[in-house]
């Protein structure tokens, strides 16, 4: 498919979706964009994207719409909405996405997985995670802070497809790793998101400041230990043995990165706390494990949402 993918649909042109759309378009793919808010879509149509000071003209995109009926069939669909918007996004994109060869998600948390699986089946669904930090400063202005790494999970049913999608992403400038263990990939990302995101949201600190502040760094490490304990008991080992250290170091380098949970709180939107923290809390409960830090972080973030 690496050679036959010519046309990609991005569902959700936010920080990650906008970045993906721009990279695919700059690499010569035909890119359609499907969004929700007509005002935001009109702005993207008028101005394109500004990414780290460079303009990506809207002329680079084939279609920029809120209605799928105005777009044509792509071979590849990327779901880039927040987890809590997945059901509506799937409904919105379904007439085209059901005909696509593959549907890819780089969303955080675990709640989007059953929704996408039910809609498209496991065979053509590719789950991935991205170690990218990006902030949407406005509907057309994205700050790509750090990170080019994308992990895709392969399983018996999608092996060839994953390789082909990896080639499309590599051609567009991303560093792609294909992992054989979907659960391990997803939970390793959850380890980062379930610890760092709520602490940043509560402290209102950018990621680098969370990692550099001795009190918050201590809380971060202890929260990761809680999650690692749950993962270990479930037989899930983080992708890298150095992951805890790597997470802290990665955050230290993300200067000024307002993580997406904090972005949501600041914008008065719901957060992805349910998608990110609830799976960990549920597994801990099943194991009969106490998770005082995680429980409180979840409670506080839900309180802030209100
Ligand atoms: N940002 C990061 O650094 C980062 C890093 C790794 C992973 N992620 C994950 O990637 C996912 C996307 O995050 P993000 O930060 O890119 O979010 P975001 O900036 O809030 O963008 C979400 C986009 O989805 C659109 N949308 C919402 N409902 C939709 C629908 N029904 N149909 C079509 N589009 C819809 C939104 O449109 P509107 O314009 O109407 O709001 C917005 O353009 C999340 O799961 C996040 O956790 C983010």
Cα 97 to the center of its chain, rounded Å = 19
Q: Establish if 1 belongs to a structural domain.
A: no
Q: Convert the pLDDT of each residue in 132-178 to its tens digit.
A: 999 999 999 999 999 999 999 998 889 889 999 999 999 999 999 99
Q: Establish if 2 belongs to a structural domain.
A: no
Contact by Cβ (8 Å): 82, 11 = no
Q: Which of 180, 199, 215 is the last residue of a domain?
A: 180
CA dihedral sign, ordered 103, 91, 65, 19: negative
> What's the CATH code of the domain at 298?
1.10.1040.10
Query: What pLDDT score does 2 carry?
Result: 47
Does the pLDDT at position 1 exceed 70? Answer: no
What's the predicted TM-score (pTM) here? 0.95
| C-alpha 223 – ligand 1 centre gap (Å) | 26
Q: Which of 130, 160, 180 is the last residue of a domain?
A: 180
| C-alpha 183 – ligand 1 centre gap (Å) | 22
Q: Convert the pLDDT of each residue in 32-55 to its tens digit.
A: 999 999 999 999 999 999 999 999
Tell which residue, 187, 183, 200, 178, has the closest CA to residue 260.
200
Q: Is 192 in the pocket of ligand 1 (CB under 6 A)?
A: no
Q: Is 37 in the pocket of ligand 1 (CB under 6 A)?
A: yes
For ligand 1, atom 36, name the residue with the nearest CA.
12
Q: Best substitution site from 9, 10, 15 to test ligand 1's pocket, by max atoms within 8 Å of Cβ?
A: 15
CA dihedral sign, ordered 98, 100, 101, 105: negative
Structure-block tokens of residue 211: 């990692």
Q: Convert the pLDDT of each residue in 119-144 to its tens digit.
A: 999 899 999 999 999 999 999 999 99
| C-alpha 83 – ligand 1 centre gap (Å) | 8
Q: Is 144 in the pocket of ligand 1 (CB under 6 A)?
A: no
What is the average pLDDT value for the chain, to the nearest integer? 95
Q: Is 117 in the pocket of ligand 1 (CB under 6 A)?
A: no
Does the pLDDT at position 203 exceed 50? Answer: yes
Instruction: Say whether both 97 and 245 belong to one domain.
Output: no
Q: Which whole-number Å values give the CA distances from 140 to 18, 275, 299, in the listed order?
A: 8, 26, 33
Q: Is 143 in the pocket of ligand 1 (CB under 6 A)?
A: no
Does the pLDDT at position 241 exceed 70? Answer: no
Instruction: Say whether both 164 and 213 belong to one domain.
Output: no
Q: Which of 180, 204, 224 is the last residue of a domain?
A: 180
User: Which alpha helices (H) appear in the chain, and where do they start and end?
Assistant: 15-26, 38-47, 86-97, 112-120, 159-171, 182-203, 207-212, 214-233, 243-253, 260-266, 273-287, 292-305
| C-alpha 209 – ligand 1 centre gap (Å) | 24
């Amino acid at each position: 498919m690496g050679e036959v993918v010519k046309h990609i649909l991005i569902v959700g042109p936010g920080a990650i979706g906008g970045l993906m759309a721009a990279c695919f378009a700059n690499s010569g793919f035909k890119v359609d964009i499907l969004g929700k808010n007509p005002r935001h879509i009109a702005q993207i149509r008028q101005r394109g994207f500004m990414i780290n000071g460079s303009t990506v003209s809207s002329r680079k995109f084939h279609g920029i719409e809120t209605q799928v009926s105005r777009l044509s069939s792509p071979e590849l669909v990327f779901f880039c909405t927040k987890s809590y918007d997945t059901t509506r996004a799937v409904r919105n994109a379904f007439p085209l996405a059901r005909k696509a060869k593959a549907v890819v998600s780089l969303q955080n948390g675990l709640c989007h997985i059953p929704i996408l699986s039910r809609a498209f089946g496991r065979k053509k669904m590719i789950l991935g995670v991205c170690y990218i930090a990006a902030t949407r400063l406005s509907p057309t202005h994205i700050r790509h802070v750090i990170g080019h790494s994308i992990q895709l999970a392969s399983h018996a049913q999608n092996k060839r497809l994953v390789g082909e999608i990896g080639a499309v992403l590599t051609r567009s400038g991303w560093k792609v790793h294909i992992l054989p263990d979907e659960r391990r990939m997803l939970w390793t990302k959850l380890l980062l998101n379930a610890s760092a995101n709520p602490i940043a949201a509560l402290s209102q600190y950018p990621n680098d400041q969370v990692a550099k502040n001795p009190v918050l760094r201590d809380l971060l490490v202890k929260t990761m230990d809680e999650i690692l304990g749950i993962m270990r008991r479930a037989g899930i080992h983080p992708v890298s043995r150095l992951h805890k250290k790597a997470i802290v170091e990665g955050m230290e380098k993300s200067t000024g990165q307002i993580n997406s949970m904090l972005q949501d709180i600041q914008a008065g939107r719901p957060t992805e706390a349910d998608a990110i923290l609830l799976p960990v809390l549920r597994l801990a409960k099943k194991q009969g494990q106490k998770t005082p830090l995680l429980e409180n972080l979840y409670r506080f973030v839900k309180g802030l949402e209100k």
